Amino acid sequence: MKISFIGAGSMAEAIITRLIETKICHQDEIYATNRNNKEKMAELERRYGIHTTYNLEELLQDANMIVFAVKPKDADAVLQKVRPFINDNTVFVSVLAGISLHFLEERLNTGSSIVRAMPNTSASVGKSATAITFNSNVTVKQMQLTQDILAAVGMTTVVEENQLDAITGLAGSGPAYIYYLVEAMEQSAKELGLEADLAKKLIIQTLSGATEMLLSSKKEAADLRFEVTSPGGTTEAGIQVLQQKAVKEAVIECIKTAANQAKELGKLHESRHINSL
């Protein structure tokens, strides 16, 4: 097997790390390149023992999978360079938000096997929530290969392409919303006089425990909340403030806005491509 990464940023590195750690791939089966950061390439080769190269033929020839992880603004130019190396045995996996299957098919080849995937940054610890969608050319074998590869970085779920923008807003950007909440909890702990290290441990364990409750219980999140919200108690007092500040509505609007932004970025990218023709 040969897997080649075009773009060697944090997402590509997270996937590479997990592929090696979980022994899904051997280092010798993984190739990577980036635009011009030779120091990063040397670091990847030294740290993981993979192949790094700026020679496209070496990178892409006979690749079973090509993972496309460049910046969206570079997509069009890179796709044109990649096109001659795509064949029936290659499945092309894009992790770029907003870049549609239709656009990828146009730039590569209408007969190409193409996958869009939306992982999140928790991929680096094997806890990503990754949504995947396939075009009609992807074979059953290629579907399985893609799911096996992406399962190395966490949970995977196959969806229709029209759901990807919503999933980008919900799960793709989701870790940042949790970190934002943790920032607020840490600040409140500081203002209440708690030591930073102690507060962090308590917050992380609280989040971990709540996650485990959601995983193990068949109850809805609202039901679990009601169970710890005693009338006249401390939790109720805190929840009332969240309700007064319309925090639930703000979170809903946050996710919808992020999803709409993913959609708009895709439209903007494709319109720029059309205008440049």
Q: What is the reported pTM?
A: 0.86
Q: What is the pLDDT of residue 77?
A: 85
Helix/strand/coil for 143: helix
Q: Which residues of the chain have pLDDT under 50?
A: 277
Q: Residue 185, Cα to own-chain centre: how many angstroms?
A: 25
Q: What is the pLDDT of residue 271?
A: 65
Q: What is the pLDDT of residue 270?
A: 66
Residue 30 has phi, psi (to 5 degrees) of: -110, 130
Q: What is the pLDDT of residue 138?
A: 95
pLDDT (tens digit per residue) in 228-273: 999 999 999 999 999 999 999 999 999 999 999 988 877 776 666 5
Q: What is the pLDDT of residue 83?
A: 86
Taking the C-alpha atoms of residue 246 and residue 269, their distance in angstroms, rounded to an integer, is: 34
Q: Which of 143, 130, 5, 135 has the alpha carbon at shortest distance from 63?
A: 5
Mean model confidence pLDDT for the chain: 92
What domains, with CATH codes, occur in the chain? 3-164 (3.40.50.720), 172-258 (1.10.3730.10)
